[in-house]
Copies of this chain bind each other. A is one copy, B any other.
């Protein structure tokens, strides 16, 4: 006979000194617990109530830690992790034409892609990231690698006006894109998006095909946009329009669009993005390192644009550290807006979690700690010297915490990091593999 006080079974109960659910905004729940069943969050409640209500198969107790939604990296090129630091401190075109593209021409293939993604997953998990928006060639190999290691991802289906090892013609790009989309359409962790490279590498005809297909298949469109002043000027010369206006003419400026970078924006363009429900994936460190410009993150957020944060690839960052990127976003927004109150800590954390989830079309699934959502969670130890004294939890998470303070990570309720050790990933094998790629890449570079 079940009474009001009968214990409910659950798979996992995580008790934390502080739960930061992201929704409601800015709230910190002291001494709370999160109950997980079947991969989903079933309750968020005070710790003492949780033990009285749930009979958990597994209890994880972290009284000195904050539990937050797993971070969402809203723009990355994970295979390029193997090119981390291979060339730095160069102007964009010299970097691409003299280093990155010649290397990629020799390297790109399923093996490079799968190995790079695996290394990236390990780095992301160790830094509290549970989901990413991937953008590279061989999305089939990427998707399979995410699936293999139980990592959540939106995998971009590349469209670009140049032949590559992945596809030789426009038609082949589209055929392969639809094929990969079909293969993964019902996967619980991996979904796909169209990923037209950028306005300067994709024709009107291809953008129009993408619009039709993205409408029909209901998938996001992930595109580098307004990354540099040069891109905007070139578009005005070639198309008589700024890139955003051109995409609008082609019907792509809507709530499916994940616009990456956006360092060059007029007030009217910010208003257009807000009105149409466009998401902006802000990659501050890549923008700084490549001298691309400053995305007006504070103004976007104030205007109501859904703001997400991405690291970009490790070849231009040079890491996949969402704690660092979020901190940079919060700091930089203030100087760019000339307002020390711009993009406050809670808003920056929102961008790094729910903002990213919404951008990827995963807003109902992840991005906050709420009953009904998937249990994508990260636990952060705040007892270290570096985050003491602890006056404000969200401030410490955004402005003081380092990714090494992440101790535990779950994706859909499955443990992926346990007290800083990767679960079901062989760290030694990953490191050995990285070393052999170093040798292979060095051999190309010297040849």
**Chain A interface (Cβ < 8 Å from any Cβ of B):** 82-86, 88-92, 95, 119, 122-123, 126-127, 285, 287-294, 314, 317-319, 321, 324, 328, 330-332, 334-335, 337-342, 344-345, 383, 385-392, 395-396, 399-400, 402-404, 427, 430-431, 434-435, 437-438, 441-442
Name the distance in Å between A337's Cβ and chain B's nearest Cβ: 7
B340→A388 contact, CB < 8 A: no
B438→A318 contact, CB < 8 A: no
Partner of A90, one of B83, B291, B341, B403: B341
A396→B85 contact, CB < 8 A: yes
Name the distance in Å between A121's Cβ and chain B's nearest Cβ: 10
B435→A345 contact, CB < 8 A: no
With A288-B332, A318-B399 already in contact, the answer to whether A438 and B389 are too (CB < 8 A) is: yes
Q: Which of chain B's residues has its CB closest to A342's CB? A: B291
Chain B residues, Cβ within 8 Å of A127: 386
Name the distance in Å between A386's Cβ and chain B's nearest Cβ: 6
* Chain A interface, DSSP helix/strand/loop, else mixed: helix
A399→B88 contact, CB < 8 A: yes
A88→B389 contact, CB < 8 A: no
A334→B291 contact, CB < 8 A: yes
Bound-complex Cα distance A330 to B89 (A): 9
Name the distance in Å between A182's Cβ and chain B's nearest Cβ: 33
Chain B residues, Cβ within 8 Å of A392: 85-86, 88
| Pairs across A and B, CB under 8 Å, 7 listed | A85-B395, A85-B400, A89-B334, A321-B386, A324-B402, A388-B431, A391-B438
Partner of A404, one of B318, B328, B404: B404
Chain B residues, Cβ within 8 Å of A399: 85, 88, 289, 317-319
Q: Which of chain B's residues has its CB closest to A341's CB? A: B89
Bound-complex Cα distance A204 to B339 (A): 31
B340→A290 contact, CB < 8 A: yes
Chain B residues, Cβ within 8 Å of A89: 334, 340-341, 344-345
Partner of A95, one of B340, B386, B387, B404: B340
With A334-B288, A338-B291 already in contact, the answer to whether A84 and B319 are too (CB < 8 A) is: no
Chain B residues, Cβ within 8 Å of A338: 291
Name the distance in Å between A30's Cβ and chain B's nearest Cβ: 13
Closest 4 CB pairs of A and B: A389-B438, A85-B395, A89-B344, A288-B331
Q: Which of chain B's residues has its CB closest to A435's CB? A: B389
Partner of A319, one of B91, B290, B314, B386: B386
B119→A388 contact, CB < 8 A: yes
Name the distance in Å between A230's Cβ and chain B's nearest Cβ: 11
Chain B residues, Cβ within 8 Å of A83: 391
Q: Other than the known A319-B399, A385-B427, A404-B404, what 9 A-B pairs have Cβ atoms closer than 8 Å?
A: A90-B340, A288-B332, A290-B334, A290-B340, A291-B337, A314-B400, A328-B331, A388-B438, A390-B438
Bound-complex Cα distance A194 to B440 (A): 55
B123→A385 contact, CB < 8 A: yes
A335→B88 contact, CB < 8 A: no
A319→B400 contact, CB < 8 A: yes
Bound-complex Cα distance A126 to B386 (A): 9
Partner of A84, one of B91, B92, B324, B391: B391
With A126-B386, A292-B335, A340-B290 already in contact, the answer to whether A86 and B285 are too (CB < 8 A) is: no
Bound-complex Cα distance A123 to B402 (A): 12
Chain B residues, Cβ within 8 Å of A92: 340
A335→B391 contact, CB < 8 A: no
Bound-complex Cα distance A88 to B333 (A): 14
Bound-complex Cα distance A404 to B334 (A): 27
B123→A340 contact, CB < 8 A: no
Name the distance in Å between A12's Cβ and chain B's nearest Cβ: 26
B386→A287 contact, CB < 8 A: no
Partner of A289, one of B285, B331, B389, B391: B331
Bound-complex Cα distance A232 to B89 (A): 32
B88→A395 contact, CB < 8 A: yes
